[in-house]
Amino acid sequence: MLGYTQSGTLIATGSVRVVHGGRGSYAEFTREQLVWEHLEIPADQEWRLEEQWASRIFYLEYRSRDDAYVKVYEQLRVVGYADYRVGFFYIAEGELKWR
């Protein structure tokens, strides 16, 4: 199945599983399942790439390059409220249309 934003932009070519946690349900993806030409790190989130923050941040934030502006998280650290895995990517359920 392919995952599209509400604006119709393809951003995922499959998923691994759905994770249910304290902040809702999120679809999990590998790097290879995301369509990177349709994603970017927003300018106001580029600080997360700076070395000085590396030991403090839990995720990198990406957004779809369309009007839907879907948020994609790259998990960098373990959290206690959900079974997110380091190195995987997450999108809130309901943000994508699957076909």
- pLDDT of 76 reads 97
State residue 43's pLDDT score: 98
CB neighbours of 78 closer than 8 A, spacing ≥ 6?
Answer: 84, 86
pLDDT score recorded for residue 85 = 97
Residues ≥6 apart with Cβ < 8 Å to 46: none
Per the structure, how many domains does the chain have? 1
Burial of 66 (0-12, 13-18, 19+ CB in 10 A): middle
pTM summary value: 0.95
Per the structure, the complete domain to which residue 72 belongs is given by: 3-98
Which residue stretches of the chain have pLDDT < 70? none
